[in-house]
Structure 1
Amino acid sequence: MNRRLIAAIGTAALVVSVAACSSSSKSSSSSSSSSSSASGGKTLTVWLMTGDNPTDWVSSVTADFKAANPGDNINIQIQQWTNITQKVTAALSQNNPPDVIDIGNTNTPFYAASGGLMDITSLKSELGGDGWTPAMNGSAVYNGKQYAAPWYAGGRAVMYNKALWAKAGLTAAPTTMAEYEADLAKLKGTAGVSSALYLPGQYWYFFDGLLQQAGANIATQSGSTWSGTLNTPAALQAANTFKTLQAFGTAPKDQTEATQDTFFEKGNVATMIAMGYEEGAITTANPKLANQIGWFPIPSDTAGTPGKTFLGGSNLAISANSQNKTLAESFLKVALDQKNESAFAKDSGFLPNTSADYSALAGNAYAQAYEQAAPEAGYTPLVPTWSNVENAPNPITTLFLTPVLEGKSPTDSAAAADVQIASRLNQQQ
């Protein structure tokens, strides 16, 4: 068993998983792994996260894998996001772990540093890596080595209610943040609108995009030491923008965006910062909104250039202790080929790992809006200890965003958050 991974299990118990941008479909989970099947061939075990298993895509990948590996089988097991970091860390420490694992992109450095992932640098070209979108591939590389393959990505865009938009006399999507704020002012004064923008005060994923847009960071590294950098002019500017936007609605200042779709579905919220899968939840709850939802990129200060956003998503990795590495490599080649990568994008609405496959997103309004923003997207610090920052209580939200929205000193709040961010990032893994 890998000693670094054994040690990491204790660390993983203290952190929360970084949620990739997947939907919330319900599936059973299993943690067993098998290296041989009743027919005498080998069985490849693949862990996919709930929502990352569209039926048609699974059928296609399974058939292609079996065609490429006659006599061998594949066992796809669906895992839940709750406590997944600890579960994956424990599994990777075993001598017979799942062979291929679907992991949140910002968690890749954690597993790579623990020794749990196979170095696939030599396979990159065979997997189509020469065409991977650089922004997506950034999360799959650690210390200059390729430890995973980027699979899909997505980020936030503006979801809007077309009927309320028309009622306010608005006919075109804004191209700058100033135009968006002007539109929100009109919407706020429109009868029947409860929130021009429903923006929960602890929506830090959106705030991270504003930070990037302002040229700021959550933290910076000097040598081996991290420092929180929210108490800087650029970060405070981003916080002020967040506060201005939050005031256009009635969302609580001390809650996350987890249930925001339940407010939009009522039909009186004009706009919301959302992920594509939230539209499905909303129209299922309120079918009357099925043809009333539109999307546009979060604006920046420059017309024609979308605002920066946090890029969420998932990578596919091979366990370092896999007993079926050749089959695992074959699975990655099949799952990431143009046919299956495009099929997953079409089924899920998330961006594929190369812009050459964006044609699969035709007709998906969310995806077409976000693909404009993807080149401007970025990440939180891609380091093994990043999950410590997100561990509740998250200092970005509880020490900074919510206090600022409640009228407390921005500089004092930022300074308090910076202390906690630095402490968590500098913890030993």
Structure 2
Amino acid sequence: MDDELFAVPLYAGARGIFYRQDLFEAAGLGEPATLDELADTVIALGEANPEDTPGFSGMYLAAVDVHGCGSLMFAGGGAWAEETGDSWQEKLTDPATHAALERIERLFAEGTAYAQDSASAQTSFENYFNDGSVGLLIGTGNIGVKIDQALWDEDKVGVMPIPSDTAGEVGQTFAGGSNISLAANAQNPELAREALKILFSEDFQKLIGANGWTPGNTRYADSVDGAFSEISGMVIENSKLTPNTPQWGAVNSNNYVHDFWAALAGGMSIDDATQQYGADIENTLNS
């Protein structure tokens, strides 16, 4: 912050796409190169339902998965807010964000049966993928280790970055995780420094990758378990964060982000939702 280093990333959850490439092939669909192609492909896959699975959806997308929805918004050029001078201005009503939200609105309506899925079900959303109920997930690298090994062994799973509006360019997505630093008032600063050396050693960073998370030192990004390792580095390096201010915690505490996605999934118009929650977010960030 302000060109000063206060902490360093320990690990990150890079978001990408897991998809059933066998179902794509059976439906005559290729890997989408843009976000519009992604939406078209997901909807077409749901309509094709290659295995005649009851209740099949092209993808899993739920309002309660705020970071999955947010990643699609970021990838399409949208944003929650931007800092201008000493104040924050909401960007939900910005034309670029509006365009990204139109695509998400279409996916809620036509691409998934899970727009209003429960929070408890979303915590195990890979189950929908494993039992063949959906053909595509947006998830962090650790989801790969939760996908049935048989699907991997049978070469039925593909992995790709979330695309952007432009073919050949990776979309910006949300990357969460944890940062770590040395406390100014640490009782044992030398011991703390040694602990940091261990945490950022090659062995420990690769252990993080083996559990499906992207190591904070992206030099070891290829240690992420499975096929996700092929994209984790580029996804993290092209990621985007929520507004960098302590007041974003207040935005989350007020449930504005969750309620915004729930409103869209429930049928509120984009104009009404962005005006209402854009104002709420802006007022909170500037309070």
Does the alignment reach a TM-score above 0.5? yes
Q: Deviations over 1:229-264 (max 9, x none)?
A: 212212211111111222211013365543422322
Q: Which residue of 2 aligns with 1:366?
A: 228
Unaligned 5+ segments in structure 2 are none
Unaligned 5+ segments in structure 1 are 1-141
d(CA) in 1 for partners of 2:118, 2:14? 20
Indicate the percent of aligned positions where both proteins have the same amino acid: 27
**1:71-220 alignment, distance < 5 Å:** 142-170=1-29, 172-191=30-49, 192-193=52-53, 194-220=56-82
d(CA) in 2 for partners of 1:347, 1:259? 20
For residue 148 of structure 1, report the CA deviation from its aligned partner: 1.4
Q: Which residue of 2 aligns with 1:408?
A: 268
Q: Which residue of 2 aligns with 1:297?
A: 161
d(CA) in 2 for partners of 1:260, 1:359? 25
**1:203-352 alignment, distance < 5 Å:** 203-246=65-108, 247-253=110-116, 255-256=118-119, 257-283=122-148, 288-291=150-153, 292-341=156-205, 343-352=206-215
Number of residue equivalences: 278
For residue 359 of structure 1, report the CA deviation from its aligned partner: 4.0
Structure label with greater radius of gyration = 1
Q: Deviations over 1:19-59 (max 9, x none)?
A: xxxxxxxxxxxxxxxxxxxxxxxxxxxxxxxxxxxxxxxxx
Candidates 256, 259, 282, aligned match of 1:395: 256
Answer yes or no: is the 8 Å Cα contact 1:306–1:376 preserved in 2: yes
Counterpart of 1:179 in structure 2: which amino acid? E
For residue 218 of structure 1, report the CA deviation from its aligned partner: 0.6
d(CA) in 2 for partners of 1:282, 1:357? 23
Q: Deviations over 1:360-416 (max 9, x none)?
A: 34x621232333322321100111121111125x21331x33323333232221111
TM-score normalised per structure 1 = 0.59
Q: CA RMSD in A?
A: 2.4
Secondary structure of the residue aligned to 1:158 is: strand
Secondary structure of the residue aligned to 1:296 is: strand
- Structure with the higher fraction of residues in helix conformation: 2
Counterpart of 1:423 in structure 2: which amino acid? N
Identify if the C-alpha distance between structure 1 residues 250 and 396 changes in structure 2 by more than 3 Å, giving closer, same or farther: same
For residue 328 of structure 1, report the CA deviation from its aligned partner: 0.6
Counterpart of 2:258 in structure 1: which amino acid? T
Q: Which residue of 2 aligns with 1:417?
A: 277
Counterpart of 2:48 in structure 1: which amino acid? T
d(CA) in 2 for partners of 1:396, 1:324? 39
d(CA) in 2 for partners of 1:249, 1:347? 31
Secondary structure of the residue aligned to 1:178 is: helix
